Every structure is written in C-alpha cells, then in structure tokens.
Amino acid sequence: MKLNIALLLLTLCSAAAAQSSNAYVYFSPGGVTASGQTAGSIQFGGGGEKILWKGIGLGAELGAWGPTQNFSYALGVFSPNVSYHFIHDRTRKFDPYVTGGYTLFFRGATENLFNFGVGANYWFSHAVGMKFEFRDQVYPQNGGAHFLGARVGVTFR
C-alpha cells in the first residue's frame, strides 16, 4: 500500500514538474554512519519538483539505497520534500537550493527518517541540466544513523 502511494505521488510530482519545474534522475555514492562506524553505500533514483511560489517547491522521489559491500540488501526509499531555490530566474544557468523532508525506507518493514540537503542545478540549456547535491537522511532512533550521499544527476524541465 505504501509503495502504491509513493508511486502515485512520484507520478503526480513528475507531471507537475513537466509544467513549470523539473524532473531528475541521480546516482549517489556515500556512506552510513552509526555508533562511530562508517560503511560505504550507493543510492540511486528519480523524482520531480514543482516550484510553487518565489523559489518554494514541493517534490517527491523514489529510489534505492544499499551498502556497497552487498547491494542485495538494498532498501526502497521514498522522500517527499520541501525546497527553497535562492535564484528565482529561470534564465539563469546556476540554481542553488536547500531541501528537507520525510524519508521512508521500506523492504518487508518500514522505517521513518527525515532528510536535509543542499545542492545546485546547472542548466546547459533551457531544458537539460546537471544536479549536484549533498543529502543526509537521518534515522533518529536507537542512537541514530546518518545515511550520507553526494548526488550527481541529470535534470529536465
């Protein structure tokens, strides 16, 4: 059920993005840090975002996160987010932003997290650009864990 809701929201955000915002795909090498230990990870996915008013946007994404040592333990990831874009001019090539929101990890069971990040889109043309972002997905229970990632992707208007 939660996966169906996630897919519906992702589809709606992607459709909204085609009107006046963006859709994107990304790849993210990173790591998970908990109890003083760090292990490598990989995350990938896609999503969409709709800018609503003066740089404030809503978006959602769906992807997978897993440890680099054995990606067969991968988890599904769903994240609805709010963002703020500092430059409100679509003719500019550089588009820096901050983002944050909810993260759901799922695979058999679910876990609730929150996330925050900072990044920028660089637009090569009116329709195609590159996405660069650093994101931390925080699991606050049981001493906490940070799922860190340096995202690189392609974004479309």
pTM strictly above 0.85: no
Measured in whole angstroms, the distance separating CA 19 from the mean position of its chain's CA atoms is 20
Residue 7 parent element (H or E)? helix 2-20
Quote the tokens at residue 40: 């490598």
pLDDT in tens, 73-130: 899 999 999 999 998 777 889 999 999 999 999 999 999 999 999 999 999 998 999 9
How does the average pLDDT of the chain come out, rounded? 87
More confident residue, 12 or 83: 83
pLDDT in tens, 71-83: 888 999 999 999 9
Cα–Cα dist 19/143, whole Å = 42
Cα–Cα dist 114/95, whole Å = 24
Task: Please report the pLDDT score of residue 100 as a whole number.
Answer: 97
Cα–Cα dist 62/45, whole Å = 6
Domains, the chain, with CATH or none? 2-156 (2.40.160.20)
* Contact by Cβ (8 Å): 95, 120: yes
